[in-house]
Chains A and B, each alone.
Chain A
Amino acid sequence: DVKVTQSSRYLVKRTGEKVFLECVQDMDHENMFWYRQDPGLGLRLIYFSYDVKMKEKGDIPEGYSVSREKKERFSLILESASTNQTSMYLCASTPRGLREFGNTDTQYFGPGTRLTVL
């Protein structure tokens, strides 16, 4: 089974703190994603990465950065946490070529990190 793990299930931080959310997958997937989930808004893509050291902005990248130094690990960084970043953060991974190579696989999700910024 594909396993996507996230470093914390619950996290409480203070405004202005630098926050690191870690995600690790064990299936050698090329693509990794960070989403945030808010009631009534569904999942919104923050950043994604399709290879080591590669990253692309998603729909809501403001206030976030990412790091992918190793294939299995994708970190989300809140440089200076704010209360409006209180949310559920979900990491996902998928093998390359979901469409181009007819790969019928899908995105595998971690359990999520519920972040509260006070």
Chain B
Amino acid sequence: AQSVTQPDIHITVSEGASLELRCNYSYGATPYLFWYVQSPGQGLQLLLKYFSGDTLVQGIKGFEAEFKRSQSSFNLRKPSVHWSDAAEYFCAVGPNFGNEKLTFGTGTRLTIIP
């Protein structure tokens, strides 16, 4: 069965500092991987996705993620965070052949301090 682990429940970063959010997955085939962001009171917005090809993918809002098959990881990075990046971030993997289900991690809450 596929699964996603986000080991950090809560991360606090100073504005302007770099950010890395961790995501590890378990999946039986070549995974499709996603990062979503949820601002307070909002639904989920797609930041970026990996399907195939270049293992470093660029997303919106200055985010990037790197797929590392050997480590089963898909970590999200940003070189310099802004106060507006404070949100909850979800990593997801899937879908399976025959259905379109995604499996989500439990999320990482990001707090930005001035």
Identify which of A14-22, A35-43, A74-82 touches chain B: A35-43
From DSSP, what is the main secondary structure of chain B's interface residues?
Answer: loop
On chain B, the number of residues with a Cβ less than 8 Å from chain A's Cβ atoms is 26
- Contact at B51–A109, with CB atoms within 8 Å? no
- Contact at A98–B32, with CB atoms within 8 Å? yes
Please measure, in the bound complex, the distance between the C-alpha atom of A8 and the C-alpha atom of B101, giving whole angstroms.
Answer: 25
Q: Chain B contacts of A104 at CB under 8 A?
A: 49, 51
CB distance from A44 to the nearest CB of B (A): 8
- Report the contact-size class of chain A (Cβ under 8 Å from the partner): 20 to 34
Q: Which of B93-114 contact A (CB under 8 A)?
A: 95-102, 104-107
Number of A-B contacts (CB under 8 A): 60
Q: Chain A contacts of B9 at CB under 8 A?
A: 40
Identify the interface centre among B42, B51, B90, B97: most chain A CB within 10 Å of its CB: B51
Q: Which residues of B contact A (CB under 8 A)?
A: 6, 9, 32, 34, 36, 41-46, 49, 51, 90, 95-102, 104-107
Q: Which residues of A contact B (CB under 8 A)?
A: 4, 31, 33, 35, 40-45, 48, 50, 56, 58, 90, 92, 94, 96, 98-100, 104, 106-112
